[in-house]
Structure 1
């Protein structure tokens, strides 16, 4: 089961509920994910506000390095990302 990323941690929903993500083209279950509720959204928004306050004090060069690292990570995993997007959306891989 996948988890939500809130406040620097991978967490389940507060309710513990999940739901299945299905490939619409094949009806295959890809994974179970947390069923986020309003309380989970509130928790995520509060964490984002706090992070934004902290982020403004991070030097520009450090922000740049972090964003470049994130981009590099996405490039390194682009095949996995495209495959997952294809499964979730039911579109051919060429469209993702």
Structure 2
């Protein structure tokens, strides 16, 4: 998890203290939303899913039939944000 949070700081300049720091993680959701992404968060007993959809790309996971499950919602938000950053670097979106 530390590596993930370090990468978020490098890519987005957001310091997430630990897995309970959802207010900081939510800043990532707002950044993605402002870039035109729709963020899907599904949580339930034994189910933590985060996916994102953009009109110029489609969904990060669902369009490929993948189940975007994570150990926590915060982990999912961070991973989705990093995947979006990779797509931006490649000029995909």
- Asked which structure has the greater CA Rg, the reply is 1
Indicate whether the TM-score tops 0.5.
no
